[in-house]
Structure 1
Amino acid sequence: MSLIEAIIFGIVQGITEFLPISSTAHIVITQMIFGYSFPGLAFEIYLHLASVLAVIFYFRKDVIEVTAGFVNYVMKRRKEDKTMFWFGVYILVATVITGGLGVLLSDFFGDGMKTPAIIALALTLTGFALIFIERFHRYGARKEKDMTVKDSVIVGLGQTLAVFPGISRSGATLVTGLLIGLDRDTAVRYSFLLAIPVILGSTVLGVRDISANMISYIGGLNLIVSFAVTFVFSLLGIIWLIDFLKKSKLIYFAVYCFIVAALVFFLIDPNTVMDV
């Protein structure tokens, strides 16, 4: 891998990770353009770690608030910490559901999910989901204090769909959050904070795939550069998305998903099974 290619992979991962357009699909397309087939999931997980560090950095005050509220309520039972305690519980519940079902689905379907047809279909479904939530569903007004365990179960199930390449994790959590009646700001915040334990968990599970072969295949300098670029562009992506959602529509992401789905379906060999 050249240094320029490492930078491009970092940019693609960083920009697309938190937009509702599936970073997996974009990494696949980038691989196909450059003719790469990465062994296992190690490189993708490695770049995801840079993305989650960007989330932690941007939402550091929220992370501290939820963590402190959770711990203080457990230790001192202070009423003012109750909302943050339960918000932390809702993050944990959704994470456990996603982690458990995600592993089961991945083991069951295996590489059968990693075909252009499946990715194109998943992107198309993501697009329709975004159109539905934007055009046919009234936005709610519920905030963290109004959430229930049932809400976290539903969002966890929605997030699990991201095990299918082409289904956006951020898109799935955002759509299900809006479906259960959360206001847009709360749904976005919940989606981003959910990314932290989910991505960290997948990183722990994927550590075994990291080997000397991966490092030699990609290159030590390229790994460092791609990590740094992913972090920077993930941060920019987070800032841009939050600003975009305040004044624009999800339907633009839906149109983009349809375009990418068509490109994947018509331009990539349908018999290809991808390492994603």
Structure 2
Amino acid sequence: MADLVTWLKYLLLGIVQGVTEPIPVSSSGHLIIVQRLLGMEQNGLSFEILTNTASLIAIIFIFRKDIKDLIVGAVRYLQTRKTEYRTDFMFCVYIIVGTIPAAVAAVFFKDTIERIFTSVHTVAISLLLTGVALWLIRNLRGQKRDGNLSIRDAILVGLAQAVALIPGISRSGSTVIASIAVGMKQETALKFSFMLYIPISIGGLILGASDIAHDPNRSQLAFPYLIAFITTLVATYFAMRWFMGIMAKGNLIYFSYYCFVAGILLLILL
């Protein structure tokens, strides 16, 4: 019976991670809340890496055509220098530039940030700040497409992704908000946001591989971790598809309402 309860808890954690990873409400913040409600200890870095990897696989699958087109276009531009491939090449450059701030912050400050900012109170404040940011950009409709971006845009969005290391600050939310704020169209903002997610997640997986290998709970929690991995993978796929529809309609304001309600309830109840 105890095993069944544990499996159900990890099933719920996987669903929460998968649903909240693509949408602008902070997956890390929601995991902290759910673990608190379930009376669970923090699962450690290996659990975070495994579930983030599941989300990464789902997002790569969804954007597989965009990824292939960008890589092929960038390689052909390097080979031929034809202007028709320059947009793909520069988009790849912007992804690299935009990844640097979060990568540097993760290497030097991630442990400190997580040690200081893992309280439910911090998550509540972060959700409220995310709600305010979503509210401010609710009516913005930029004109920048893939070929109109700049190094400045990439740096600003990259800095926003670095801020999302704080639990409760949504990574997708911060990058989508920043992308829209610098003038990107909805579809470009969505694409750029999740192209930035891919290298930073791959980097986290590589750096955290040893944590998984040396996890003292690896054998005991192998099956619960597997349950969480599969549910995260499936939930991320469907949540991402849903979020793409929301972005296409420009309805980010609903996530602002959610963040306000969730943040206030956390401050009152927890």
Normalised-by-shorter TM-score class:
over 0.9
- What's the counterpart of residue 227 of structure 1? 229
**How far 1:109 moved relative to its partner?**
4.0
Q: Counterparts in 2 of 1:179-190, with a 5 A limit?
A: 179-190=181-192
- What's the counterpart of residue 214 of structure 1? 217
Q: Counterparts in 2 of 1:117-156, with a 5 A limit?
A: 117-135=121-139, 138-156=140-158
Q: Which whole-Å CA distance do the structure 2 matches of 1:129 and 1:197 have between them?
A: 25
- The answer to whether the 8 A contact 2:101-2:159 is kept is yes
Q: Counterparts in 2 of 1:245-264, with a 5 A limit?
A: 245-247=247-249, 249-264=251-266
What is the letter of the counterpart of residue 103 of structure 1? V
Q: What TM-score, normalized to structure 1? A: 0.91
Deviations along 1:128-153, whole A, 9 cap, x unmatched?
00000004xx3111101001111101
Taking a change above 3 Å as real, the CA distance of residues 177 and 66 of structure 1, as seen in their structure-2 partners, is same
- What's the counterpart of residue 196 of structure 2? 194
Q: Which whole-Å CA distance do the structure 1 matches of 2:181 and 2:125 have between them?
A: 22
Question: Is the counterpart of residue 63 in structure 1 residue 67 in structure 2?
Answer: yes
Corresponding residue pairs, total: 265
SS in 2 for 1:252: helix
Pick one of 20, 23, 43 that aligns with 1:19. 23
SS in 2 for 1:216: coil
- What's the counterpart of residue 88 of structure 1? 92
**How far 1:212 moved relative to its partner?**
4.2
- The answer to whether the 8 A contact 1:6-1:226 is kept is yes
Taking a change above 3 Å as real, the CA distance of residues 108 and 7 of structure 1, as seen in their structure-2 partners, is closer
Pick one of 47, 63, 71 that aligns with 2:51. 47
Pick one of 10, 13, 19 that aligns with 1:9. 13
What is the letter of the counterpart of residue 144 of structure 1? D
**How far 1:246 moved relative to its partner?**
2.2
Taking a change above 3 Å as real, the CA distance of residues 142 and 200 of structure 1, as seen in their structure-2 partners, is same
**How far 1:10 moved relative to its partner?**
1.1
Q: Which whole-Å CA distance do the structure 2 matches of 1:243 and 1:101 have between them?
A: 31
- The answer to whether the 8 A contact 2:24-2:255 is kept is yes
SS in 2 for 1:182: coil
What is the letter of the counterpart of residue 219 of structure 2? S
What is the letter of the counterpart of residue 75 of structure 1? Q
What is the letter of the counterpart of residue 126 of structure 2? A
What is the letter of the counterpart of residue 133 of structure 2? A
Q: Which whole-Å CA distance do the structure 2 matches of 1:247 and 1:27 have between them?
A: 28
- The answer to whether the 8 A contact 2:14-2:229 is kept is yes
SS in 2 for 1:167: coil
- The answer to whether the 8 A contact 1:41-1:206 is kept is yes
What is the letter of the counterpart of residue 243 of structure 2? L
What is the letter of the counterpart of residue 121 of structure 2? A
**How far 1:110 moved relative to its partner?**
5.1
SS in 1 for 2:143: coil
Q: What TM-score, normalized to structure 2? A: 0.93
Taking a change above 3 Å as real, the CA distance of residues 55 and 39 of structure 1, as seen in their structure-2 partners, is closer
Taking a change above 3 Å as real, the CA distance of residues 98 and 212 of structure 1, as seen in their structure-2 partners, is closer
Deviations along 1:155-183, whole A, 9 cap, x unmatched?
10111110111000000000000011001
**How far 1:265 moved relative to its partner?**
2.4
What is the letter of the counterpart of residue 213 of structure 1? P
Bigger Cα displacement from structure 2, 80-89 vs 204-213: 204-213
SS in 2 for 1:21: coil
- What's the counterpart of residue 271 of structure 1? none
What RMSD over aligned residues (CA atoms) do the two structures have, in Å?
1.6
SS in 2 for 1:214: coil
SS in 2 for 1:47: helix
What is the letter of the counterpart of residue 200 of structure 1? I
> Which stretches in structure 2 are left out of the alignment for 5+ residues?
none
| Identity rate, percent | 35
- What's the counterpart of residue 204 of structure 1? 206
